[in-house]
Amino acid sequence: AQTVTQSQPEMSVQEAETVTLSCTYDTSESNYYLFWYKQPPSRQMILVIRQEAYKQQNATENRFSVNFQKAAKSFSLKISDSQLGDTAMYFCAFMSAYSGAGSYQLTFGKGTKLSVIP
Amino acid sequence: ETGVTQSPTHLIKTRGQQVTLRCSSQSGHNTVSWYQQALGQGPQFIFQYYREEENGRGNFPPRFSGLQFPNYSSELNVNALELDDSALYLCASSRGREGRNTEAFFGQGTRLTVV
């Protein structure tokens, strides 16, 4: 079974500054996907960024980028130029690339509550 | 707007009762997954439906059951409600195996309170 650990329950950052959220995971699989999801007070999970484990290059999406260290099983999220709208819960999630029964199942960490301060 | 809609948005039930939650998947998506998110926790996988059949189940008892309909909408049923069932229930739809599209689109959830 896979596990995902987010060791920072809460973080805060000044508007326009940069913040990094940490995530580690444990798996015996070699091919998988990693995700960061954002959950604002509206409750809807929104995909922020995705990383495929077989790709060495770190994924980027505008102000969001990841530092994927496969050997260390580490997957951190960097948010640059933080904006007030980035205030939310952030969840790291794992998905196996296995295509059998139960595929496309997400395993989530407990989340990090990010507050962007004006 | 992601196109995944859940109903109702809030619900209060008494311990021992039964509840049905509903989810309409995004157009073109044939896979629906259900998650339970307790307060202060990350979502936990309940089960998944692919083309009307259960396609994987998490560590939840049999009193959690589901259905997927030919239009790929889905229901989550919970029997004999317990206080610990109080949580946010999230539905996520995806294209499933076709095209190996891994992106799951979530609805806004149903907040269930068991008293």
Pick from B2, B41, B104: CB nearest A106: B104
pLDDT tens digits, one per residue of A54-109: 888 999 999 999 999 999 999 999 999 999 999 999 999 999 887 666 667 899 99
Sign of the C-alpha dihedral computed for residues A53, B36, A4 and A58 taken in this order:
positive
* pLDDT at site A2: 87
Q: What is the mean pLDDT of chain A?
A: 93
Instruction: Give me the mean pLDDT over the A109-114 stretch.
Output: 97
Token pair for A111:
């989340």
Q: What percent of chain B has pLDDT over 70?
A: 92
Pick from B45, B94, B108: CB nearest A44: B108
* pLDDT at site B101: 56
Whether A4 and B42 lie within 8 Å, measured CB to CB: yes
* pLDDT at site B30: 87
Of the two residues A10 and B98, the one the predictor is more confident about is A10
Residue of A nearest to B36 (CA): A108
Separation CA A84–CA B13 (nearest Å): 36
- For residue A92, give Cα distances in angstroms to A17, A89, B24, B45: 21, 10, 25, 14
* pLDDT at site A56: 85
Whether B109 and A50 lie within 8 Å, measured CB to CB: no
* pLDDT at site B1: 47
Distance from CA of B6 to the nearest CA of A (A): 11
Query: Hey, is B85 helix, strand or coil?
Result: helix
**A1 shares contact with chain B (CB less than 8 Å):** no
Of the two residues A20 and B51, the one the predictor is more confident about is A20
Which of B102, B105, B110 to probe by mutation at the A interface, max A CB count within 10 Å?
B102
- For residue A43, give Cα distances in angstroms to A34, A88, B6, B27, B32: 21, 9, 12, 21, 18
- Low-confidence residues of chain B, pLDDT below 50? 1, 99
All residues of chain A having their beta carbon less than 8 Å from the beta carbon of residue B42 are: 4, 91, 93, 108-111
* pLDDT at site A93: 95
* pLDDT at site A80: 98
